[in-house]
Amino acid sequence: MATKNYKLIREQLDQTLKRFKVLQATDMPQRGWLRAIRDALGMNGRQFARRMGVSPARVSKLESDEIAGAVTLKTMRKAAEALDCTLVYTLVPRVSLEDTVKKQITLYAQQRLARISHTMALEDQELSTGGKKKALQAMEEELLLNIPKSLWDK
């Protein structure tokens, strides 16, 4: 895939994911989402189990697994359906995808420039501080246009 497409994909995905940013501050209820919604609906465990097509013991295990983070998406989707809900699954980046890539490019460019600077110092051709800053900026701009396959190796 062309590098320019990656940028467009990041921009579009960043725009989509902005809507979910507010969810980062949402904590799961102490007894889990399934139990909270079930209780709010006035549905007991036996009734929930029947709607899911499982045993009441399985519902109890499911609700504790949710709290422990040990439940599968498939099972959560089935439980959501039994509660007349929709499971919403997403990853919400802490910062924009574009910022994540730029941060990684900066680290990558700094490492690359450090190796180059070391070689230049050995040859008594070391860049000035200002020269290093300009070289780093130019390298970052080039890397943003042509993202190397090895960007995420380290």
Q: Which of 17-31, 45-59, 78-92, 121-135 has the lowest mean pLDDT?
A: 121-135
Q: Which of 7-11, 19-23, 52-56, 120-124 has the lowest mean pLDDT?
A: 120-124
Domain final position from 60, 82, 104: 82
**Burial letters 118-129, b for 16+ CB under 10 A, else e:** eeeeeeeeebee
- pTM for the predicted model, two decimal places: 0.76
Tokens 């979910």 locate to 20
Domain final position from 32, 58, 82: 82
Asked if residue 126 and residue 99 are part of one domain, the reply reads yes
Asked if residue 101 and residue 52 are part of one domain, the reply reads no
Residue 87: inside a domain, yes or no? no
The packing angle between helices 33-41 and 45-52, to 10°, is 110
In terms of Cβ atoms closer than 10 Å to its own Cβ (0-12, 13-18, 19+), residue 143 is buried
pLDDT of 133 strictly over 60: yes
User: Which residues form the domain of 102?
Assistant: 1-20+93-149
- pLDDT of 67 reads 97
Asked if residue 65 and residue 110 are part of one domain, the reply reads no
| Domain count along the chain | 2
- Residue 97 main-chain phi, psi, to 5 deg: -60, -35
Asked if residue 99 and residue 49 are part of one domain, the reply reads no
What gap in Å lies between CA 49 and CA 55, rounded to an integer? 6
Asked if residue 71 and residue 102 are part of one domain, the reply reads no
Asked whether 151 and 105 are in contact (CB, 8 A), the reply is yes
pLDDT of 123 strictly over 70: no
The SS3 of residue 152 is: coil
- Mean pLDDT for 115-136 is 68
Asked if residue 56 and residue 99 are part of one domain, the reply reads no
